[in-house]
Structure 1
Amino acid sequence: MSEYYNSLLQGDKGALKRALYKAMGFTDEALGKPLIAIVNTYTNATPGHYNINELCEQAKKGIEAAGGTAMTFGDIAPCDGIAEGHEGMRYILPSRDLIASTVECMVRAHRFDGLVLLGSCDKIVPGLLMAAARLDIPAVFCNSGPMMPACYKGKHYDGNIVTEAVGWKQRGEIDEEEFRKIENLAEPCAGSCAMLGTANTMGCLAEAMGMSLPGSAVIPAVYAKRLQMAYETGRAVMGLVKKGITARLVMTKEAIENAIMVLMAMGGSTNGIMHLQAIHKEAGLGHLPLEAFDRFSKRIPQIASVYPASPYDMVDFYEAGGVPAVMKELEPLLHGDCITASGKTVKENLQHTEYSTFREVIRTVAEPFHSDGGVAILTGNLAPLGAVVKPAAIPEHLMTVTGKAKVYQSEQEACEAILAGEVQPNTMVVLRYEGPKGGPGMPEMYRPMKCLEGMNLSDSCTIVTDGRFSGSNRGCFVGHISPEAYEGGNLALVEDGDEITIDVPNRKIILHVSDEELEKRRTLWKPVEKQLPDGYLNIYRKITKSAAEGAVMEME
């Protein structure tokens, strides 16, 4: 029966499959069209995904208007903010690879002809993009859009004002009533968090690499244009199906380099590095070394500045022109021939893009915020395989700093010490055993950094860790230190009082302890073993790779 587009439904062998679809009301006419799966990550437990049912309906309409039949299935979407500060954060990064695998299972079981990916939060976006790269079928991504900012005392904030308010209350600057007022206004509507954190960074990088439609990444979640973009996403995937443009034809080496350049130009989340490494690998392109990011960091200036690097939030970034305006400034440096979800090349997409006139948010390459990229890689004896830092969020006076170490074996231990007043100004807070294996799960060290802010220590203290950081963090922080402490990296050998130098301009992180002394300490070292509940984290610890390799799950 050649009237069925999907090969699984053709002929007598396809009869049972057709019958099963007909049990849900699908007609022969509908089943004769390309079958397009919509990955719907809706949940009312995560604000970044609360509006995705509406986007799903619009994407479905777009698919059907363009001649396809839409079928939906769900996937998990844990919230970093709700998982923050407890055991749940250990599951957030591992959820990325789980999401990729669940999408793979469903799509290959049903052999769909195309894929619309709807997601918004930190690990959901890269998980969906990894799945598309692995499956290599026509696919388009659409995010839910950023949340509107909170407004407090005439100033805009993202939801992390709540964590800072904990410190304000601790110091007696606000009372309980004011604290509750802040809590009630901090997250005003659905959408991904209102700053250039990991969620919005990854939405922007999806657009930069061509996997979502031009101009889509930073449309606010509550705007009608967000619904329109979901509809156009449905139409776009049908265009790719008809042209035979699969995900790996879009996610090429050059396209991922475009994403790296946009990451550097925006000063996006440091987590974008490990997610691009994972996507690169899933696209069949092999390992993307940290050196590649450092190379682009030295070439690409930071031309956009968005909260937490500046007072301007995601709505301001949208009004300034968003990703297209950034790419327009970078156009001479980009790979213009890369094909995108629109069916057009980067060069064609930018042909009618206007330059930003909101120069407080997006500047020119000739007059950037910083001559280097907003994310950088450090190396040295404390991080032989590399560490990640975000110059875009670091005060100028902390770009080169030396201090004495105060060592903590967990996030909780560090937070308790900071809030108890045990951490003095100019301290190097060394926070270890929080890497992919040691954590396990490489949780974000969001809360210790916010505790420093709340205690007025973030202008002098630094956090050095094998864990990750939230894209909302600002101050001097060095994460992703590799090898991690659990694997016997030199981070495991640091003792209270050791001097550490962070030199961002020269991309160095140095522990001022002799090799002989480190080897003596190594003979006495035993890794800290954290108790784990039965289940997924035990599997993850065994097969995850180093943060320097994107913390991807891979059997040896």
Structure 2
Amino acid sequence: MEKTYYNHLLQGDAGALKRALYKSMGFTDEALSKPLIGIVNTYTNATPGHYNINELCRQAEKGIEAAGGTAMTFGTIAPCDGIAEGHEGMRYILPSRDLITASVECMVRAHRFDGLVLLGSCDKIVPGLLMAAARLDLPAVFCNSGPMMPACYKGKHYDGNIVTEAVGWKQRGEITEEEFSDIENLAEPCAGSCAMLGTANTMGCMAEAMGMSLPGSAVIPAVYAKRLQIAYETGTAVMGLVKRGITSRTIITRESIENAIVLLMAMGGSTNAIMHLQAIHKEAGLGALSLERFDVFSRKVPQVASVYPASPYDMVDFYEAGGVQAVMKELEPMLHCRCMTVTGEPLSSNLERASYTGRREVIKTREEPFHRDGGVAVLTGNLAPLGGVVKPAAIPCELMRMAGTAKVYQSEPEACRAILKGEVSPGTIIVLRYEGPKGGPGMPEMYRPMKCLEGMGLASSCAIVTDGRFSGSNRGCFVGHISPEAYEGGTIGLVEDGDEIRIDVPGRRLELKVSQEELKKRRKNWKPAEKKLADGYLNTYRRISKSAAEGAVAE
């Protein structure tokens, strides 16, 4: 009797060679007769957030096989933002997102897998995997590796960015070289994504909010046994989707992405999530997601959760407070609860099993929130006609409205040197330009300048405005994603030292107080600054990348 195979590539005589190739690796006819589930395993021992993913992969394989499937694993790149920061490597981080998407697409369309488990945890890997799921429209479930435990220094919890702040402490003579070495050794206590609500953990939460990962999974710490259990359950969940024919675009919809936006505003997540949600929206065939849409939600969604760096409470506190499910339970009336999720049930069914938090210091009520507006906002004005992104959740109250004198720098290293040398005075608004998707190129994050301001005691009196990005770990007054960027002729390229800039976060305005006549004169003499690039991908990315206002996607 002729054997039957679930995967259409393996069927009949045309599938014989393909079956033979799989059999060369030990797969049996019995295994090949089942649905073939690809596991995207982003393990590397070069990135802490991905160090435990081999263990998760093994659990997911067990779950797939227990539910009647056959697991096949393949990898893709997973660069670490922290290791790439502060040098040319950071220019490759955002562009890696689109490479990850394309690499998953290539493997899946070549092998025609029947479903996917997506394992990843760090800043650009999570959105890259979700973009791939949206593009491919297969049954798919995402599972992250979980946040690492916090560092503990002098009785206080920190994330690993304490090291960068300690550079400033040492510079000012507040700590010794020995104390600095001690901080370095305790800063990152275990594997996992960084222990604050940065981009990695924000995007894990976004995946859960849009229904692409199992309820309650996003913020389980990396070292907990529950993390392994969730990986197993992810394997069984994808088989449920395969059997029911529920694909990614059934789950990733306009409404489910709006649910993710609600969560982003409610928890004050990383500003980078905006461009990643824009990219996922586009890959799901939903077209452009405008910055204005985010601003609509920013004005109506209260910030009910506050997590480090916006508060003293770290990711473990957030997990113990109920995490994503507790926040969504609080905001249930604002959500599209009929959206399908990877459980095979609508969001409403998942939330019926969710509980309100027992830790009101971490997650407040919708009626009495931390802030009436959302924790992420979009500013516009003559300095950012297409928009700029800011994180009110991480801005001190006294800096919500500020005016300052511009000090212009053409690169991140130049700005850092000036700050650490004491050349920046209180009341300065640092303008960091030619760091956008094309001008950078690669739109690197301006993490270090903001941390240098903290270390030098200037974070409460200075601000940074840039066409680059910021890390989710940054706190203080900063406006990023300025669009159009300087390289494309944006107004930010015309700013001069001494100009007055006004930042009005509640009013959603960013203004350069220079007359139109003066700006016209400056534009006549303007030429874009060109950076010498090594041969390779950044030249391609500069050519094909879109504006930050459109998610900086590569087309």
1:529 & 1:208 partners in 2: Cα distance?
41
Corresponding residue for residue 502 of structure 1: 503
3-state SS of 1:285 partner: coil
Corresponding residue for residue 107 of structure 2: 106
Corresponding residue for residue 413 of structure 2: 412
Q: What is the CA distance between 1:276 and its match in structure 2? A: 0.0
Q: TM-score, normalised by structure 1?
A: 0.99
Corresponding residue for residue 21 of structure 1: 22
1:216 & 1:2 partners in 2: Cα distance?
39
The 5 Å alignment of 1:65-104 reads 65-104=66-105
Q: Name the amino acid aligned to 2:172.
A: R
Corresponding residue for residue 218 of structure 2: 217
Q: What is the CA distance between 1:254 and its match in structure 2? A: 0.2
Q: Name the amino acid aligned to 2:450.
A: M
1:200 aligns with 2:201: yes
1:165 aligns with 2:186: no
Corresponding residue for residue 143 of structure 2: 142
1:238 aligns with 2:239: yes
3-state SS of 2:242 partner: helix
Paired-residue identity, %: 82
2:133 & 2:215 partners in 1: Cα distance?
18
Q: Name the amino acid aligned to 1:496.
A: D
The 5 Å alignment of 1:437-456 reads 437-456=438-457
Corresponding residue for residue 252 of structure 2: 251
Q: What is the CA distance between 1:383 and its match in structure 2? A: 0.2
Q: What is the CA distance between 1:266 and its match in structure 2? A: 0.4
Q: What is the CA distance between 1:2 and its match in structure 2? A: 6.1
Runs of 4 or more off by more than 6 Å in structure 1? none
2:115 & 2:431 partners in 1: Cα distance?
47
1:44 aligns with 2:72: no
1:55 & 1:353 partners in 2: Cα distance?
24
3-state SS of 1:344 partner: coil
Corresponding residue for residue 517 of structure 2: 516
Structure 1 gap segments, 5+ residues each: none
3-state SS of 2:317 partner: helix
The 5 Å alignment of 1:138-537 reads 138-537=139-538
Q: Name the amino acid aligned to 1:211.
A: M
3-state SS of 1:405 partner: strand
Q: Name the amino acid aligned to 1:8.
A: L
Q: What is the CA distance between 1:357 and its match in structure 2? A: 1.3
- Residue deviations 1:442-498 (CA, integer Å, cap 9, x gap): 000000000000000000000000000000000000000000000010000000000
3-state SS of 2:533 partner: coil
Corresponding residue for residue 57 of structure 1: 58
3-state SS of 2:121 partner: coil
2:513 & 2:88 partners in 1: Cα distance?
33
1:529 & 1:225 partners in 2: Cα distance?
50
- Residue deviations 1:340-390 (CA, integer Å, cap 9, x gap): 011111100000211001001001100000000000000000000000000
3-state SS of 1:406 partner: strand
1:8 & 1:2 partners in 2: Cα distance?
14
Q: What is the CA distance between 1:3 and its match in structure 2? A: 1.1
Q: Name the amino acid aligned to 1:450.
A: K
1:405 & 1:28 partners in 2: Cα distance?
69
1:440 & 1:270 partners in 2: Cα distance?
19
1:306 & 1:98 partners in 2: Cα distance?
31
Q: What is the CA distance between 1:62 and its match in structure 2? A: 0.2
3-state SS of 1:284 partner: coil
> How much is the aligned-residue C-alpha RMSD, in angstroms?
0.4
3-state SS of 2:166 partner: helix
Structure 2 gap segments, 5+ residues each: none
1:314 & 1:58 partners in 2: Cα distance?
24
Q: Name the amino acid aligned to 2:138.
A: I
Q: What is the CA distance between 1:420 and its match in structure 2? A: 0.4
Q: What is the CA distance between 1:128 and its match in structure 2? A: 0.1
Task: Classify 1:24/1:213 alpha carbon distance in 2 versus 1 (closer, same or farther; 3 Å).
Answer: same
Q: Name the amino acid aligned to 1:153.
A: K
Q: Name the amino acid aligned to 1:465.
A: T
1:135 & 1:354 partners in 2: Cα distance?
34
- Residue deviations 1:16-35 (CA, integer Å, cap 9, x gap): 00000000000000000000
- Residue deviations 1:179-231 (CA, integer Å, cap 9, x gap): 00000000000000000000000000000000000000000000000000000
Q: Name the amino acid aligned to 1:283.
A: A
3-state SS of 2:74 partner: strand
1:357 & 1:310 partners in 2: Cα distance?
18
Alignment size in residue pairs: 554
